[in-house]
Amino acid sequence: MTGKKKTIFFTLSTTAVYRNLLFFPGSVYDRLRRIVRERDDLCIVFLVPEKDFHKYAVLFGEDIADRMLLQPVSVSYPRTFLEKAFYFFYSYLIYTGTTKQLATLGVRPEEPPAGGVLKQYLAPVKFLIANTFGRWDTLREYIVPWLYLGIFRSRPFLELFSKYNPDLVFISHLYGRLDTELLAEAKRQRTPAIGMVANWDHLDKYYLPFKTDKLLVQSEQLKNFAVRFQHYPAERAVLTGYPYFDFISNGSYAKPREETLKDLGFPPDSKYILYVSGSAYCPDEPDIIETILQWMAEGRFGGEVRLVIRPYLGGRAKDREFDEEKYNRFENHPLATFYRKEFWGDMDKSIQFMNIIRHAASIISIYSTIVIEAAVLDRPLVGIGFDGYKKRSLQKSINRFAMREHFRDVLESGGLRTAHSFDELFLILDSYLKNPSLDSEGRERLRRRVCGSLNNGSSERIISAILD
């Protein structure tokens, strides 16, 4: 690139980034396209893993092909022993409730924490690192970045920096390996960088080796996490809101309740509860679902009440097989219907699922992101705090997820009621079916703290931060 043209590197390394910044009408991507069409002094290079190049290539038209580019990149994931050891060290410069849950209990109840049984016994070491080295400002701010640049020597982006000479790097997924390597090269090249995390459950997990010059945070919660756990100066964190909440909260996509009931195959005068699965993380869900359907069949809620089950669609093939077996018994139940469509990435399906949330009498979720998405639409929220008919140890219990730092704000807001027994679950569901406005003040607190701004301006604030 020559002359006065400004070049921006923009990472596109995960489907969460696509959902956040590219998918919906009026997204950051849409706005950037309009700006680039109007300005011939701006070039944006989207960096995407080679395996995903063809998936996203259809987004990039020929009209501005020289100024809006999709560049495939390859980042090698195998690490040397020294790289692995250093990664382990700097990751545990923080030790939050989320870190503790991941380090000691793991995610799936039948499996040890990531890395095998040995990692479980390293939990005291991780705690010790956080409470000794993690309190040393000079180490965190200067020594760790310096050591990273010396230890990780592959420099997969060096050639691209030489080719494009970017004026700015936008890191859309700070926890990604591709994004971390790009930020490392930006530090070597002294190129300004703006960053953000792709999900609300990232900043409280592990420590990041580099700070961006400006950090875009979606909510007051994430700003607090950036300061407390990643040690960002508060003035460097810029509040934007969640950009894909612009889509969720956009009333122009709302459909009448009768239309949603028809899509689900439910009677026009019925109500329904949406159950969002936690997959293999929560093996006792069939107990919960079976009991709710029994209450419905017995007419204990009064009137026509149905259940929509949203299975967990991500994860490993092993998890999907587990889910299929788990839900077999409910497949033909007359009061239940399944919603198995992958919706992010398909506009019609996304609108359909947002309307399923919008018209639900209540939403049951197992420590899932759907909680904050449903809070945007002010739907009654129900959490499960018991293991069906079983008595499980904490290591295998659903309650292990309550340790997660980002979920504490949800629990403390009063916007979600947690059932600790079947009796409590019935009373909560019954009360929400009779009066969905219950706990609206708690949900408002949840929105203010966790959901960020909902004025449809999040994408515009991100654009302003990039072009500032």
Between 9 and 98, whose confidence is greater?
Answer: 9
Enumerate the β-bridge partners of residue 8.
Answer: 44, 168
Q: Is 387 a residue whose pLDDT tops 90?
A: no
Task: Please give the mean pLDDT across all residues of the chain.
Answer: 90
Residues 378 and 284 in one domain: yes
How far apart, in Å, do the first and last CA atoms of the chain sit? 21
Compute the average pLDDT of residues 134-150. Answer: 96
CB 422 within 8 A of CB 416: no
- Full DSSP string of 415-452: SEEEESSHHHHHHHHHHHHH-TTTTHHHHHHHIIIII-
168 in a domain, yes or no?
yes
Residues 340 and 443 in one domain: yes
Enumerate the β-bridge partners of residue 365.
Answer: 276, 383
User: Would you place residue 1 in the very low, low, confident or very high pLDDT band (cuts 50, 70, 90)?
Assistant: very low
**Residue 293: what are its φ and ψ, rounded to 5°?**
-65, -35
Residues 361 and 329 in one domain: yes
Q: Is 463 a residue whose pLDDT tops 90?
A: yes
Residues 269 and 389 in one domain: yes
Residues 47 and 190 in one domain: yes
E strand or H helix at 30:
helix 28-38
**The predicted structure's pLDDT at residue 2:** 45
- Full DSSP string of 111-174: SPSTT-HHHHHTHHHHHHHHHTGGG-HHIIIIIHHHHHHHH----TTHHHHHHH--SEEEES-T
Residues 446 and 392 in one domain: yes
17 in a domain, yes or no?
yes
52 in a domain, yes or no?
yes
145 in a domain, yes or no?
no
Cα separations (Å) of 365 from 282, 310, 333, 355? 11, 10, 21, 17
Neighbours of 108 (CB within 10 A): 20
Mapping DSSP onto H, E and C, the string for 330-365 reads HCCCCCEEECCCCCCCCHHHHHHHHHHHHCCCEEEE
**The predicted structure's pLDDT at residue 147:** 97
Residues 263 and 206 in one domain: no
Residues with Cβ < 8 Å from 42, sequence gap 6 or more?
A: 5, 6, 8, 35, 36, 67
Residues 407 and 307 in one domain: yes
**The predicted structure's pLDDT at residue 320:** 64
Q: Is 351 a residue whose pLDDT tops 80?
A: yes
Residues 317 and 361 in one domain: yes
143 in a domain, yes or no?
no
Residues 261 and 286 in one domain: yes
Between 367 and 301, whose confidence is greater?
Answer: 301
**The predicted structure's pLDDT at residue 419:** 95
Tens of pLDDT, residue by residue over 45-95, are 999 999 999 989 888 877 677 889 999 999 887 689 999 999 999 999 999
Percent composition of the chain: helix, strand, coil (DSSP 3-state, to 5): 50, 15, 40
Give the chain's domain count: 3
E strand or H helix at 108:
none
Neighbours of 452 (CB within 10 A): 25
Tens of pLDDT, residue by residue over 207-258, are 999 999 999 999 999 999 999 999 999 999 999 999 999 999 999 999 999 9
109 in a domain, yes or no?
yes
Tokens of 173: 């997924």
Question: What's the DSSP call for residue 188?
Answer: H
Between 263 and 116, whose confidence is greater?
Answer: 263
Residues 199 and 235 in one domain: yes
367 in a domain, yes or no?
yes
Q: Is 410 a residue whose pLDDT tops 70?
A: yes
141 in a domain, yes or no?
no
Tokens of 3: 């002359």
Residues with Cβ < 8 Å from 298, sequence gap 6 or more?
A: none
Domain residues for the domain of 357 are 247-451
| CATH number of the domain that residue 208 is part of | 3.40.50.2000
**The predicted structure's pLDDT at residue 314:** 61
Compute the average pLDDT of residues 376-401. Answer: 87
Residues 125 and 94 in one domain: yes
User: Would you place residue 200 in the very low, low, confident or very high pLDDT band (cuts 50, 70, 90)?
Assistant: very high
Work out the burial of residue 367: count CB atoms within 10 Å of its CB; fewer than 13 is exposed, 13-18 middle, 19 or more buried.
Answer: buried
